[in-house]
Amino acid sequence: MLEDMNEKCAVVGIYGNKEASRLAYFSLHALQHRGQEAAGISSSDGIKLQTIKKRGLVMRVFDEKKLETLKGSSAIGHTRYSTAGDDSILDAQPVFARYDLGEMAIVHNGNFTNAEEIRTKLIDKGAIFQTFMDTENLIHLIAKSEKRKLLDRIIDAVGRIEGAFSLVFLSRTKMFAMRDRHGFRPLSLGKLPGGGYIVASETCAFDLVGAEFIRDVRPGELLIFDKDKEPESIQVFEPTPKHCIFEYVYFSRPDSRVFGQSVYQTRKDMGKELAHIKPVEADMVIPVPDGGVPAAIGYAQES
């Protein structure tokens, strides 16, 4: 059913900046349009992870006092628009867990098409789930992996899932960011003015924190962020790009660049094309909703 197609969320990751949690907060504020159900941030000071998440808008979930408790130079954040599971606080992200290698938090935008199959197999092997989110499958797959290093465990885990995903992982000392082989959901990389890096679902988050856009994370690519190092890239999957058209039609903010193109200009060009395909004799073009403004301008100008 159409009302069940709720696949947008926002993810952000900040690494190597002393204002990490605050920058994550501002980035989530810029990405609020991608989810209003819940918001959360996990940060790391190199020793342990702290997580705050709650139902509601970003400005209501966080205040200065809460941000001060999220210490450290790395942080990941999420705004939720439910794709799977219910609307309880248990299904808010980041998903945090302690396991044999230490502590880890994950944020995820997208859907795993084989989530039920994986969950059933994990439960049969004794796994105990706390939520109904696809994302929790990853926690269990990583925890149960026989690989010795977290990087290898992440690669092992994502190799078992199918579907659309942009993922950001945070450990005590490292951050990892990845897109599925199709690059179905957007994820971009930027450089922060005070040092460090940012990854976010849309480039409008970069504008708010003054970050310089570097490039999109490639489909099937895994980025590793480590202290005092440039981001390392591993091409985990052979890329087969199949981008989500609704990012251009509805999800994304007009001032973002998504899949390498300006959302505003793409919507305007769509409006121009529509004027040729479906011309109408009219005095006025009215956009509904707000995301339709560029398309309406393009239609009106071409008409």
β-sheet bridge partners, residue 12: 77, 200
Residues 108 and 173 in one domain: yes
Residues 7 and 103 in one domain: yes
Above 50 in pLDDT, residue 120? Answer: yes
Residue 3's pLDDT is what? 37
What average pLDDT does the segment 239-267 reach?
94
Number of domains forming the structure of the chain: 2
Short-list 232, 269, 229, 231, CA closest to 249: 269
pLDDT-derived band at 86 (thresholds 50, 70, 90) equals low
Residues 42 and 101 in one domain: yes
Residue 8's pLDDT is what? 75
pLDDT-derived band at 2 (thresholds 50, 70, 90) equals very low
What average pLDDT does the segment 160-170 reach?
95
Residues 196 and 280 in one domain: no
What amino acid is encoded at 83 in this protein? T
Dihedral class, residue 127 (left if φ above 0, else alpha if ψ from -120 to 50, else beta): beta
Which residues does 210 contact at the CB level (< 8 Å), separation at least 6?
192, 193
Residue 254 included in any domain: no
Q: Which residues constitute the domain of residue 270? A: 260-302
Residue 235 included in any domain: yes
> Could you give the CA distance from residue 248 to residue 102 in angstroms, rounded to a whole number?
39
Q: Is the pTM of this model over 0.95?
A: no
Burial of 13 (0-12, 13-18, 19+ CB in 10 A): buried
Residue 253 included in any domain: no
Residues 72 and 217 in one domain: yes
Instruction: Supply the residues annotated as catalytic.
Output: 9
Q: What is the CATH number of the domain that holds 71?
A: 3.60.20.10
Q: What is the pLDDT of residues 101-114, one digit of tens each?
A: 999 999 999 989 99
List b or e across 29-54, with b for residues whose CB sees 16 or more CB atoms inside 10 angstroms: bbbebbbebbbbbbbbeeeebbbbbe
